[in-house]
Amino acid sequence: MIERYLVPVTKLFDDKAEMFALFSRHFEGVTTEQFEADLNRKTWVILLKENKVIQGFSTLHFYEAKLDNEPVRVVYSGDTITDPSMWSSSALAQGWVAAIKAIHQGRSEKLYWLLISSGYRTYRFMSIFGKEFYPHYDRETPPTIAKFMDRLCREQFQDYYSREDGIVRFPQPQVLGDRLRDIPPEKLKDPHVAFFLQKNPGYIKGDELVCLAEVSVSNLTRAGLRLWHSKVPLSIPFPIDS
């Protein structure tokens, strides 16, 4: 049975080593120091455990921003990985949605999800979750949203961000391993996957495509609504200070 936990980064303790072991099995060239430095820039971690063994995780960072001079909140998704045995499971998606709801509850500001993706599976979740997200294969990014994404990325990634193509290129990129790197030809029939490859041909060397979506009930797909309303247990062992 999969158990879901929402834990502050500062309270991970022994989980860090197990997280790194799982991550390094699927990404090439990641050092412990690099992994922990990235982790320490986040605030929360969603952990999936089976028989007390970590089978997946996703890191989150919430912060304040402004869009058209209105205060909003941003949740930035960092490192995310699951064991291949979990690929057909919705456990991580359910845990992610439950965590977002728990952390943002009671807040009146709009919430935006900032994601960078070096793999088509991660990008594909945007289309499963949200009706409107950017970049998108059949619509232009509205100018206001494009400027917002640009500002967020310049603040978050500085010179590693390329405004021209919406890509983040880190000096020490996290490159997917062989099993995760290749896109099966049949997947390219999916317009979202084909678009990801078009927008981010350098994914194979760790380039990250910048993506943004509003997190709101009105912007959820049918699948997103099922996730939103699912009553999955989420263990929160430490108080949430919103």
Extract the tokens encoding 129: 């979750």
Cross-strand bridge partners of residue 208: 168
pLDDT at 97: 92
pLDDT at 210: 97
How many alpha carbons fall within 13 Å on the CB side of residue 99?
31
3-class secondary-structure state, position 13: coil
240 assigned to some structural domain: no
pLDDT at 179: 67
Residue with tokens 């232009």: 140
Number of domains in the chain: 1
Contacts for 194-202: CB closer than 8 Å, 24+ residues apart? 194/137, 195/135, 195/136, 195/137, 196/117, 196/120, 196/123, 196/124, 197/120, 199/135, 199/165, 199/166, 200/117, 200/118, 200/167, 202/167, 202/169
State how far the alpha carbon of 17 is from the alpha carbons of 10, 28, 59, in Å. 14, 17, 15
| pTM, to two decimals | 0.92
Extract the tokens encoding 36: 């922990």
237 assigned to some structural domain: no
pLDDT at 178: 66
The answer to whether residues 209 and 162 touch, using CB atoms and an 8 Å cutoff, is: no
235 assigned to some structural domain: no
b/e code 168-204 from CB counts within 10 Å (16+ = b): bbbeebbbbeeebbebeeebeeeebbebbeebbeebe
- CA–CA distance, 232 with 242 (Å, rounded to integer): 21
Binned average pLDDT, 10 residues per bin, the chain of 242 residues: 92 91 83 88 93 92 94 92 81 91 92 93 90 96 96 94 94 74 88 96 93 96 92 85 59
Which domain, by its residues, includes 196?
2-229
239 assigned to some structural domain: no
Q: Which CATH number is 27's domain given?
A: 3.40.630.30
- Which is it for strands 175-176 and 167-168: parallel, antiparallel or unpaired? unpaired
194 assigned to some structural domain: yes
